[in-house]
């Protein structure tokens, strides 16, 4: 698949609606394969109002634009024309500090990195697990809150419904 932008990349574009041009900056949240439309469950808001439109004959991208400045503020989804997207060079990409889950007693406990889901003993600010690799390229604004991270992990981890051997079956 010919992907021009990586997930997490910062992009800029100008959108035209009702005669006005709006400059927007956001991050690539998902790659939409040619002939497909954005995930309806994940990006439901795109399907509201005028609707999402037809699938495209090329790879496209769902872009999230943060509304508000604080961490954990809401993100608005867009599905802009690929031709209008420009990569934003992030200057002073110094990355984030992470620290090792130090105690020997619990060092075997690995949590999944909140960005790439690789098991890691490293944490950012002790709120979310963040591996050293992702810490190099992650900005604070990209980090999920602890609540978001836990909710995502819960959604991605298969649940066990009851225990076998309790006479439920
Ligand atoms: Zn990672």
Residue 69 has pLDDT above 90, yes or no: no
Cα–Cα distances in Å, from 114 out to 41, 134, 143? 20, 9, 7
In this structure, which residues have their CB less than 5 angstroms from ion ligand 1? 113, 115-116, 118, 131, 134
Q: Which percentage of the chain shows pLDDT scores above 90? A: 33
Instruction: Taking residues 144-149, report their average pLDDT.
Output: 91
**Ligand 1 centre and the CA of 29: distance in Å?**
16
| Residue predicted with more confidence, 1 or 138 | 138
**Ligand 1 centre and the CA of 58: distance in Å?**
29
Tell me how far apart the alpha carbons of residues 117 and 157 are, in angstroms, rounded to a whole number: 11
**Ligand 1 centre and the CA of 28: distance in Å?**
17
Are 96 and 79 spatial neighbours (Cβ–Cβ below 8 Å)?
Answer: no
**Ligand 1 centre and the CA of 113: distance in Å?**
5
**Ligand 1 centre and the CA of 114: distance in Å?**
7
pLDDT tens digits, 23-59: 888 889 999 999 999 999 999 999 998 888 999 999 9
Tell me how far apart the alpha carbons of residues 9 and 29 are, in angstroms, rounded to a whole number: 8
Q: What is the pLDDT of residue 166?
A: 45
Are 73 and 66 spatial neighbours (Cβ–Cβ below 8 Å)?
Answer: yes
**Ligand 1 centre and the CA of 131: distance in Å?**
4
**Ligand 1 centre and the CA of 132: distance in Å?**
7
Tell me how far apart the alpha carbons of residues 19 and 153 are, in angstroms, rounded to a whole number: 42
List of long-range contacts for 73-81, beta carbons under 8 Å, 24+ apart: 75/29, 76/45, 77/29, 77/38, 77/43, 77/45, 77/46, 78/15, 78/24, 78/26, 78/46, 79/32, 79/38, 79/43, 79/46, 79/52, 79/53, 80/13, 80/15, 80/24, 81/13
**Ligand 1 centre and the CA of 135: distance in Å?**
7
**Ligand 1 centre and the CA of 7: distance in Å?**
13
Q: How many residues does the chain have?
A: 169
pLDDT tens digits, 72-123: 567 889 999 999 999 887 554 456 777 776 554 444 568 899 999 988 888 8
Tell me how far apart the alpha carbons of residues 28 and 3 are, in angstroms, rounded to a whole number: 11
pTM, entire model = 0.51
Q: Which percentage of the chain shows pLDDT scores above 70? A: 79
């Amino acid at each position: 698949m010919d992907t021009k932008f990586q997930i997490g990349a910062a992009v800029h574009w100008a959108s035209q609606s009702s005669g006005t041009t709006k400059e927007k900056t956001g991050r690539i949240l998902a790659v939409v394969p040619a002939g497909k439309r954005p995930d309806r469950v994940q990006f439901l808001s795109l399907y509201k109002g005028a609707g999402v439109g037809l699938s495209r004959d090329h790879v496209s991208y769902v872009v999230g634009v943060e509304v508000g400045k604080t961490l954990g503020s809401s993100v608005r989804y867009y599905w802009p024309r690929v031709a209008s997207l420009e990569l934003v060079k992030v200057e002073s990409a110094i990355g984030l500090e992470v620290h090792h889950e130090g105690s020997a007693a619990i060092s075997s406990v690995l949590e999944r990195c909140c960005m790439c889901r690789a098991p890691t003993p490293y944490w950012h600010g002790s709120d979310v697990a963040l591996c050293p690799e992702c810490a190099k390229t992650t900005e604070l604004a990209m980090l999920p809150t602890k609540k978001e991270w836990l909710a995502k992990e819960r959604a991605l981890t298969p649940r066990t419904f009851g225990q076998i051997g309790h006479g439920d079956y």
